Amino acid sequence: MTSTVLVAGSANLDFVVRAAHVPAPGETVLGREFQTFPGGKGANQAVACARAGGAETRMLLALGADDFAKPIETSLIDAGVQLHTVRDAQLPTGTAFICLSDDAENAITVAPGANMALQPEHLPALGGVQWLLLQLESPLDSVLAYARAARTAGVKVALNAAPAQELPAELLAQLDMLIVNEGELAVVAGNPPDLATGLERLDVPCVIVTLGARGCLARVDQRILLQPAFRISPLDTTAAGDTFCGTLIACLARGGALDRALLAASAASALACTRLGAQSSIPDHAEVNALLADATRLPGADAHAALAAWCAL
């Protein structure tokens, strides 16, 4: 039987300007080329999950009745995502304004628009779903309601706590997996003095912390797994985290072990950093497999030792 992943969350049209550097507060920077890309953390994760293959991917999203919705729907459908769309004619489709610097840094401001129309009652039937993947660009009440409903139905729940916000204990209690970067860990764990304390404070069976160019770690109950990053020259890190999340859950949904899923998610995320845009940058299964098959590009023992030393766990 094919596994099914349901992603419930945001979809945005990204307005991207490339510039020498991201402007500081109060600064105006003269940028260069401008492009739009389908984005939004939820939609990016759904595309990554679908492109990873092996699991049917569905997405609950909310869009406006405007011209910005079309490219998002087309991108999701082309990736093979089955859509449950809430259409809100009163609100504009979500948008994100991204400044991308020449050293691949970015600054993102999201205007959520229709994403805020996602309500608890919009959750589709969960029959046949193995994993529910959530983020925080939708109303927190809805995120909590979806997590609760999934838990009750025996569906595993993963939350990517992005953008960072403090989380109610009741939401954490519904999760099988929490995925955060370092900044998000600081917020959800109440500014811990170090990584170990942050991990200790989170009462979730599996916590994954992504560490950018260093790699990532997973704390599964009392066990720690480390996955160093693949070495790449980054062009655009937008959606790198989303690619990681979607690929990871697809691998787990098709029965993969967590260490293998971390490896595949890291490979997909590395490839996404070498291309422009959000959904446009997400690799498919074949591209990820080709990278994994190239022994010269796999992170070596030195990278593993460096990550272990940095984590000091």
SS3 category, 1: coil
| Nearer CB in complex with ligand RIB: 140/224 | 140
36 is annotated as contributing to ligand binding: no
d(CA 40, CA 269): 16
Q: Write a three-state SS string for 164-181.
A: CCCCCHHHHCCCCEEEEE
Least Å distance, CB 79 to ligand RIB, is: 14
Residue 73 corresponds to which tokens in the numbers above? 């729907």
Q: Which residue number is nearest to ligand RIB in terms of Cβ? A: 39
- Is 203 designated active site? no
From residue 188, alpha-carbon distances to 133, 202, 207, 244 in Å are: 18, 8, 12, 19
183 is annotated as contributing to ligand binding: no
CA triplet 55, 56, 57: central angle to 5 degrees?
Answer: 110
Query: Which of the residues 66, 141, 242, 302 is marked catalytic?
Result: 242
| Nearer CB in complex with ligand RIB: 39/228 | 39
Least Å distance, CB 255 to ligand RIB, is: 27
- Residues within the interface to ligand RIB (CB under 6 A): 10, 12, 14, 39-41, 44, 96, 108, 110, 137, 238-239, 241-242, 278
Least Å distance, CB 200 to ligand RIB, is: 27
| Nearer CB in complex with ligand RIB: 130/181 | 181
66 is annotated as contributing to ligand binding: no
7 contact partners, CB below 8 Å, separation of at least 6: 42, 43, 45, 46, 49, 57, 58, 59, 60, 81, 132, 133, 134, 246
| Nearer CB in complex with ligand RIB: 160/227 | 160
SS3 category, 5: strand
Catalytic residue numbers read 242
- Residues at the binding site are 12-14, 40-44, 137, 181, 210-215, 236, 238, 241-242, 272, 275, 277, 281
- Residues at the binding site for ATP are 181, 210-215, 241-242
- Residues at the binding site for substrate are 12-14, 40-44, 137, 242
